[in-house]
Chain A
Amino acid sequence: MSDPARLRRPETVYFFGTCVIDLFYPGAGLAGMELLKRQGLRVVFPPDQSCCGQPARNSGYLDEARAVALRQIAAFPNDWPVVVPSGSCAGMMKTHYPDLFEGRPEYSKAKAFSARVFELTDFLVNVLDIKLEDKGEPVRVTWHGSCHSMREMGVVDQPKSLLRQLSNVTLVENPREKECCGFGGTFAVRQPEISAAMVTDKVAAIEETGTSQVLSGDCGCLMNINGALEKAGKAIHGRHIAEFLLERTSGQGGK
């Protein structure tokens, strides 16, 4: 990648927690920040952040999305990388902020901001070149790549390469990994039947891997997948990769 921010290891990074993590998975956000801190970085979580604006943008409410996007840009004023524990929110900020402001006075500001946005696992691998030491018991896991992390952020192998560093972790590939889980934000409630069919198939494919947990880098997908796993009474459980990595490398068992 040719992003200038990739060339040097920063001293300080911003962390954008995402609105889903804020309310439902704060542990994943804390774990992401802890992982960065353990790499010797100063991690700043600006309290004025809220949501990337994707729900409004994807629903066709672009003015509303712009207002919220501008508030985020203002909350991260310094020239530090913005690390995001979600490929979907990162994709919104990286690819759609410039689109949203094209031909507007805020364009250059949005463009400059978007250049600083990194998905967490990509940042750990490609900027920090992180080395992980596994302190957990043997475990078999499978991976769920989110659509936007794969197709908007180009994050496909980065999280898996992190898992491969863990000596006691066996990664079992899900042949249907690349198929959407059916979350799609408002899609899940706008098209409840189609979304239900998609997540039901996704859960079946995950179960076929015979693993005890499914890891992902996106809490939107996890909320969808976990809800369906739990409703169907499955033993398998979904977790954000940041929490998993932190536990494995802290000697907390990494279950």
Chain B
Amino acid sequence: MSDFTQRAPIALNDPTLRRNFRRAMDGLMSKRAAQFADPAAWAALRERGAMAKARAVARLPELLEQLEAKCTANGIHVHWAETTAQANAIVLGILQKAGAKKVIKGKSMVSEEMELNHFLEGHGIKAVESDLGEYIIQLAHEAPSHIVMPCIHKNKGEIAQLFADNIDGLGYTEDVDALTAAARRVLRDEFATADAGISGVNVAVAETGTLVLVENEGNGRLSTTLPPLHIALMGIEKLAETLDDVAPLLSLLPRSATGQPITTYVNMITSPRKPGEKDGPQAVHLVLLDSGRSRVYADEQLRDTLRCIRCGACMNHCPVYTRVGGHTYKFVYPGPIGKILTPQLEGLDCAGDQPHASTLCNACVEVCPVKIPLADLLVRLRTESVHSGHSQAVKGAGSRRSLHETLSWRGWQFMYAHPWAYGLATRLMARLGNLIPAKAPLMRQWTSVRTKPKFAGKTLHELARDKGFDHE
């Protein structure tokens, strides 16, 4: 079990963590809102982005083959991994063949899925994170708490302490420029001495075999150009049909994610270094990871999950994520997208409580740049979680089914679908409901911070009849 519900109170009772997330999410929400101030322009751009991803996902198998063919023709080696274990083995094989002892990494959530750093360390290869946020949490031996801003759970003071403890010659300072300069100094050496660079992929263009990588620190460009070997890791859904389709996505992604009109760096990688070129790696490899995504693709409704461009806007706007933070979700992808993706990749038996941990407030649906119907998918996964044999679409379907709950809803249906039963029950409850003790099951959870709901004495049905409203 992922035990999201059990872990939530730990974060809720950490005032520093609550403050860090609240402040950061408030900032991100207002920056994004400023980018999409014109509702008509937002609607039009969003439609283009959503359609680009919907078309790509609908043709996923053939586009992947096209991507492989184009990349291969461009001189990029393409590898297929069905599982994270296979992906790790592929990466290790490439690195060992090249005799690599140290890799420098750009940000990659797929590598988090693979737990690649840990795996490589076990085989004597050092992996250094070069994205500043990733570098910070690597120093802290923590996992990312956000898919775009991995160390968003930490404040300046916490980072200052971490740097003082870990970087030689740097005392405690909260001067952001000094902290950044210190990290830069350390990382410059790592870049210069790395045997290989590993990166993620934001969009892969099937038409041209181009790998698009966006970033703000230049670390992505250095990781993919300076070392002699570049390995790109990508989930099979990060596709676009054409180069034209990249345009709306490049606009939607940074504006949704961090409220930037565009990222500082946009890298488009189409081949290794060509004869006569002055930079670039001698070899480029692309590892395509499935890890459950084909199963998601197989269901026409759930398939919409694969449109995700990993902007993180859904978590930035999520009232639950803002309060519990990313680590409460335990798996790689937190927030609303994690609540629909994790149970599909890991199984409802592992993460089946996550789809239930939402008020279905639709805040995520409102801001998703590719129109993923997150709330409807949460309901679909709730349905799968309590109905065994409903379909084979999701691993662990029915794992949250209980006789007690099933019978409760049958009883609910009987009462609400039979007017006589409903009338009888509500008249009774209206009169006797206030006698329910505050410590009764369910009422106990409610009254932790609230008074008991007050039953009215007479139902609206009765009052409406008294006032003559029920006559046709």
Contacts and interface: CB of A to CB of B under 8 A. Distances in A.
Chain B associates with chain A: yes
Interface of A: 15, 17, 19, 21-27, 29-30, 33, 43-51, 53, 55-64, 67-68, 70-71, 75, 78, 99, 147-148, 151-152, 178-180, 182-185, 187-201, 223-224, 226-228, 230-232
A193 B12 contact: yes
B99 interface: no
Given A23-B430, A60-B386, A194 B12 contact: yes
Interface size grouping (class) on chain B: 35 or more
Given A33-B469, A55-B412, A200-B449, A45 B319 contact: no
A45 B383 CA distance: 32
Interface string B1-40: 0000100110010000010000000000000000000000
B454 A24 contact: yes
Interface stretch (B110-118, B288-296, B457-465): B457-465
Interface in B339-382: 356-363, 365-366, 376, 379, 381-382
B445 A192 contact: yes
Given A27-B456, A197-B323, A198-B323, 12 more contacts: A15-B469, A24-B453, A46-B472, A47-B423, A60-B381, A61-B386, A61-B412, A71-B416, A147-B361, A185-B359, A198-B320, A230-B451
A47 B445 contact: no
Contacts of B356: 187, 190-191
Contacts of B384: 60
Contacts of B448: 192, 196
Nearest to A25: B456
B124 interface: no
A151 B373 CA distance: 12
Interface of B: 5, 8-9, 12, 18, 319-320, 323-324, 356-363, 365-366, 376, 379, 381-387, 409-410, 412-413, 415-419, 422-423, 426, 429-430, 433, 442, 445-456, 458-465, 467, 469-472
Contacts of B462: 26
B460 A29 contact: yes
Contact of A23 (B365, B447, B459): B459
A44 B379 contact: no
B362 A151 contact: yes
Nearest to A52: B416
Nearest to A180: B361
A230 B359 contact: no
Nearest to B456: A26
Nearest to B452: A227
A46 to B, nearest CB: 7
B461 A60 contact: no
Contacts of B464: 15, 17, 29-30, 33, 45, 47
| Of listed A21, A26, A48, residue having the most chain B CB within 10 A | A26
A73 B371 CA distance: 30
A78 B471 CA distance: 13
Contacts of A148: 362
Contacts of A197: 12, 18, 323
15 contacts: A15-B464, A24-B456, A33-B467, A33-B469, A45-B460, A47-B419, A56-B409, A64-B412, A71-B418, A151-B362, A180-B359, A187-B357, A192-B448, A201-B323, A231-B451
Given A61-B409, A64-B413, A182-B359, A231 B450 contact: yes
Which 7 A-B pairs rank lowest in CB-CB distance, beginning with the nearest? A184-B359, A227-B450, A60-B382, A192-B445, A180-B361, A60-B383, A26-B460
